[in-house]
Amino acid sequence: MSARITPRFALRQTRALVQRRAASSTTDGAASGANKAKEATQQTASKAQEGLSRVQSSAGSKLSSAGSAISKSLAGVGGRTGQVISFVNSMIPPTVYYGRVVGELGKIAVQGRNMAPPNMQTIQTYLQPLSKAFQNPSAFLNRAPAPSNPQSFLARVRDMDSATLKQVGIVTAEVIGFFSVGEMLGRFKIVGYRSDAAHAHH
Kindly state whether residues 101 and 72 are assigned to the same domain.
no
**Rounded to two decimals, what is the model's pTM?**
0.30
CA distances from 61 to 51, 55, 65, 75 (A): 15, 10, 6, 21
What mean pLDDT do residues 8-37 have?
Answer: 63
Within 10 angstroms of residue 146's Cβ, the number of other Cβ atoms is: 6
Kindly state whether residues 89 and 116 are assigned to the same domain.
yes
| Residues 134-170: tens digit of each pLDDT | 888 777 667 656 667 888 888 888 888 999 999 999 9
Domain that holds residue 119: 85-124
The count of structural domains within the chain is: 3
> pLDDT-based confidence at 89, cuts 50/70/90?
confident
Secondary-structure percent of the chain, ordered helix, strand, coil, rounded to 5: 80, 0, 20
179 within domain boundaries: yes
> pLDDT-based confidence at 175, cuts 50/70/90?
very high
Average pLDDT, the chain: 76
142 within domain boundaries: no
Kindly state whether residues 162 and 180 are assigned to the same domain.
yes
Kindly state whether residues 71 and 92 are assigned to the same domain.
no
Q: What is the dihedral of CA 75, 77, 79, 84, to 10 degrees?
A: -60
Interaxial angle between packed helices 79-112 and 2-75, expressed in degrees from 0 to 180 and rounded to the nearest 10: 130
> pLDDT-based confidence at 61, cuts 50/70/90?
low
176 within domain boundaries: yes
**How does DSSP assign 55-111, residue by residue?**
HHHHHHHHHHHHHHHHHHHHHT--HHHHHHHHHHHHHHHHHHHHHHHHHHHHHHHHH
